[in-house]
Structure 1
Amino acid sequence: MSTLPKGWGSTTVKNLAGTSGLFVDGDWVESKDQDPNGDIRLLQLADIGDGVFLDKSDRWINEEAFTRLRCTRLETGDVLIARMPDPLGRACLMPSLEKRCVTVVDVAALRVDPQVADNRWVMHTVNAPQLRAEISAQASGTTRKRISRGNLGGLLVPLPPESEQKRIADKIDTVLTRVDAVNTRLARVAPILKRFRQSALAAATSGRLTEDWRVLNSTSKPWRKATLEDLIEEMRNGLAAKPDESPAGRKILRISAVRPGFLDTTDHRYLTTDESSAKLYELRKGDLLFTRYNGSLEYVGVCAMVSEDLPGYVYPDKLIRVRVKASVALPKFIELVSSAAEARLQIEGYVKSSAGQKGISGGSLRTLRMAVPPVEEQTEIVRRVETLFAFADRLEARLKTAQTSTERLTPSLLAKAFRGELVPQDPNDEPASELLRRLQQEAPLTSTKLRRKSGA
Structure 2
Amino acid sequence: MTELPNSWEKAKFADFGTWIGGGTPSKANSDFWNGDIPWISPKDMKSKIIRAAIDGITEDAIDNSAAKLVPAGSVLMVIRSGILAHTLPIAITAMDSALNQDLKALTLPDGISSEFIAWGMRAFEQSILVSCRKGGTTVHSIEMPSLAAFELPIAPTNEQRRIVARIEAMFDEIDHGVENLKKAKATLGLYRQSLLKAAFEGRLTADWRARNGIATGNRAQIYLNDCIEFLTSGSRGWADYYADQGDIFIRAQNLKHDRLKLEDIAYVKLPAGNSEGMRTRVKRGDILITITGANVTKTALVENDLGVAYVSQHVALCRLSGELNPRYVWHFLLSKSGGRKQLEEAAYGAGKPGLNLTNIREVRIPICAPEEQAEIARLLDARLSAAEALEAEIDASLARAEALRQSILKQAFSGKLVAQDPMDEPAATLLARIKTARRQKTSPRKISA
1:8 matched residue in structure 2: 8
The structure 1 residue matched to 2:154, chosen from 159, 167, 186, is 159
Task: Report the Cα distance in structure 2 between the residues aligned to 1:443 and 1:258, rounded to whole angstroms.
Answer: 59
2:119, 2:409 within 8 Å by CA — same for their partners in 1? yes
1:359 partner SS: coil
The equivalent of 2:252 in structure 1 is 255
Deviates more, 1:198-207 or 1:341-350: 341-350
CA distance in 2: counterparts of 1:165 and 1:430, whole angstroms = 11
Aligned-partner Cα distance in 1 for 2:318–2:434: 77
**Counterparts of 1:59-78 in structure 2 under 5 Å?**
59-69=55-65, 71-78=67-74
Q: Measure, in 2, the Cα distance between the counterparts of 1:106 and 1:445.
A: 32
Q: Which residue identity is paired with 2:19?
A: V
* Greater relative contact order, per chain length (Cα 8 Å cut-off, separation 6+): 1
Structure 1 residue 235: Cα displacement: 2.4
Q: Matches of residues 29-178 of structure 1 in structure 2 within 5 Å?
A: 29=24, 37-39=33-35, 40-48=37-45, 52-53=48-49, 58-69=54-65, 71-84=67-80, 85-87=84-86, 89-96=88-95, 101-114=97-110, 116-129=111-124, 132-134=126-128, 136-141=130-135, 143=137, 145-178=140-173
Match of 1:25 in 2: 20
**Contact (CA 8 Å) 1:8, 1:431: kept in 2 or not?**
yes
Does the 8 Å contact 2:248/2:265 carry over to 1?
no
Question: 1:305 is matched with which residue: 287, 301, 305?
Answer: 301
Query: Structure 2 CA distance, aligned partners of 1:398 and 1:276?
Result: 45
Tell me if the contact between 2:44 and 2:54 (Cα under 8 Å) persists in the aligned partners: no
Q: Is the 8 A contact 1:257 1:268 kept in 2?
A: no
TM-score norm. by structure 1 comes to: 0.84
* Alignment pair present for 1:372 and 2:367: yes
| Shift, 1:277, TM fit | 3.4
2:25–2:67 contact (8 Å) kept in structure 1: no
**2: CA distance between counterparts of 1:158 and 1:352?**
52
Instruction: For 2:14 and 2:382, locate their aligned partners in 1 and report how far apart those are by CA, in whole Å.
Output: 60
Instruction: Say which of 336, 344, 359 aligns to 1:348.
Output: 344
> Partner letter of residue 131 of structure 2?
A
Deviation at 1:181, TM superposition (A): 1.6
Partner of 1:179: 174
Distance 1:70 1:89 in 2: 24
TM-aligned CA deviation for residue 302 of structure 1: 3.9
- CA change 1:229–1:275 in 2 (3 A) is same
Q: 1:249 to 1:102 in 2, by over 3 A?
A: same
Q: Which amino acid aligns with 1:216?
A: R
Cα contact 2:109–2:434 (8 A) shared by 1: no
| 1:68-121 alpha-carbon deviations (Å, 9 max, x no partner) | 23532122211113334244654321124xxx521133432122222x222211
Whether the 8 Å CA contact 2:15–2:435 is kept in 1: the answer is: no
Instruction: Report the alpha carbon displacement of residue 139 of structure 1 after superposing the two structures with TM.
Output: 4.0
Shift of 1:415: 1.3
Gapped runs of 5+ residues in structure 2? Answer: 444-449
Equivalent residues of 1:135, 1:152 under 8 A apart = no
2:439 aligned counterpart, secondary structure: coil
2:191 is the alignment partner of 1:196: yes
Measure the CA separation in 2 of the matches of 1:402 and 1:310. 33
**Contact 1:263–1:306 (CA under 8 A) maintained in structure 2:** yes
User: Partner residue of 1:325?
Assistant: 321
Please give the secondary structure, in 1, of the residue aligned with 2:179: helix
Counterpart CA distance in 1 for 2:113 and 2:381 is: 55
In the TM superposition, what are the counterparts of 1:357-368 in structure 2 within 5 Å? 357-368=352-363
* CA displacement, residues 149-186 of structure 1 (integer Å, 9 cap, x when unaligned): 33323333333222111111111111112222222222
Shift of 1:261: 3.8
- The runs of 5 or more residues in structure 1 that have no matched partner are 18-22, 449-456
Aligned partner of 1:391 in structure 2 is 386
Asked if residue 278 in structure 1 is aligned to residue 244 in structure 2, the reply is: no
Q: CA RMSD in A?
A: 3.1
In structure 2, the partner of 1:334 is 329
Between Structure 1 and Structure 2, how many residues are aligned? 432
CA deviations on 1:28-62 (whole Å, 9 max, x unpaired) are 3376578694324332234346x714789745544
The one-character-per-residue Cα deviations of 1:244-280 (angstroms, maximum 9, x if unpaired) are: 5433764332133334641234444536353443223
Q: Deviations over 1:206-234 (max 9, x none)?
A: 11111111122223386443221222223
Which residue identity is paired with 2:292? Y
Maintained 8 Å contact 1:82/1:88: no
1:293–1:359 CA contact under 8 A, matched in 2: yes
Q: Per the alignment, in what secondary structure is the counterpart of residue 120 of structure 1? A: helix
TM-score w.r.t. structure 2 length? 0.85
CA gap 1:141/1:198 in 2 versus in 1, 3 angstroms: closer
The aligned amino acid for 1:3 is: E
TM-fit CA distance, 1:331: 0.7
Partner of 2:447: none
| 2:203 is equivalent to residue 208 of structure 1 | yes
Cα distance in 1 for residues equivalent to 2:440 and 2:23: 22
Note the alpha carbon deviations across 1:401-439, whole angstroms, 9 max, x for none.
111111112221111111110111122222233333433
> 1:232 maps to what in 2?
228
Q: Where does residue 20 of structure 1 map in the other structure?
A: none
Indicate if the aligned counterparts of 1:168 and 1:423 stay in contact, CA closer than 8 A.
yes
Shift of 1:25: 3.1
Asked if the contact 1:251/1:271 (under 8 Å) is kept, the reply is: no
